[in-house]
Amino acid sequence: MIEVSKAGLLTTVQDLGRPGYQRHGVVVGGAVDGFAARVANLLVGNEPNAALIEMALIGPELKFAADALVACCGAEFEAKLAGAALPKDRPVRVAAGQVLSFGPARKGAMAWLAVAGGIDVPLVMQSRSTYRRAGVGGHEGRGLIPGDKLKVFPAPDPAREKLEKLLRAGRVAPAWSIRPEVLGVPPSAGELRAMRGPEWDWFTPAAQAAFFTEPFRVTKDADRMGLRLDGRPLELAAPREMISSAVNAGVVQVPPGGQPIVLSASRQTIGGYPRIAAVAAVDWGGIAQLKPGDTVRFREITVAAAQDLLAQRERDLQRVQMGLARLPL
């Protein structure tokens, strides 16, 4: 059992989302950076889709009723376990009664805390993810609040073995760590690799050039649904209307005002704004780490290059998974 003493700014239970229901108007949702969530689960011996805790900008304070193995991946938060700095990107032993607290994010915006066994909340349409706008999934369909108590499924055998080894060695965590951003080929800081979208040709040459050469600033209108950017207005070559069409995470829409919106995990299922570009799936984690005031640039890549980058990251993750079984604690 995990008791929530402080909730943070926005803390929810997520897994990898609710695919397969978009034709019914149900968003996919899930962790904004599914890759970081998978790495966190991997570190504690969970299956990739196990439910975990997602936090944004200011994290929660959690009290553990029983011994647990946890791992935190994503942004760098001011995190402490029983008053000491929390080791990041590695399995960490939490003793019964200890408090794990997260302050503000020092670098990035979002992080994911996996607990061995996974968070025990009901399955809704084959997912445990929270979708707050509809009050669906997660813990009572909402963000966590003080006083909430989260059940945890029994830890898998590998996790219990790691806990016992750490306890015998008198250690809280191993000396090694795994950084999700070093798997695959990371982009430059403040950069998102993107491909031309279906309505690319609707925009003026000046708008096309500006999109891939000029910086954009993240506005205060940024959440799990998407990030509204501010920069040089992206103009259409001629007034046009489009029939609402399917959208995915990473799609960059441009409303009539000309300021782009980058869609994220809890985006709508269809949209009626022209799609100038789509961020490569390998960089969706970069969207998660942008916060209001940050500057971002887009770099053009081909669909083939985006596919190769994603395949390489998956191969790297498989190698890490095999290596974890041999790493000493």
pLDDT, position 329: 67
pTM of the model: 0.93
- Cα 27 from Cα 328, distance rounded (Å): 41
Mean pLDDT by 10 residues, the chain (329 residues): 96 96 90 94 94 97 96 94 92 95 94 97 96 93 96 93 88 85 74 96 97 96 93 94 89 96 92 95 92 95 96 89 76
Considering the domain 191-314 in this protein, what is its CATH number?
2.40.100.10
- For the chain, what are the domain ranges? 2-182, 191-314
- Cα 112 from Cα 108, distance rounded (Å): 12
Give 163's contacts (C-beta < 8 A, 6+ positions apart): 67, 68, 69, 93, 116, 155
- Cα 256 from Cα 250, distance rounded (Å): 19
Q: Tell me the three state secondary structure of residue 109.
A: strand
pLDDT, position 178: 85
Residue located via tokens 């996790």: 159
Residue whose C-alpha is closest to residue 119's, from 64, 39, 161, 56 = 64
Q: What angle do helix axes 303-324 and 34-43 make, rounded to 10 degrees?
A: 10
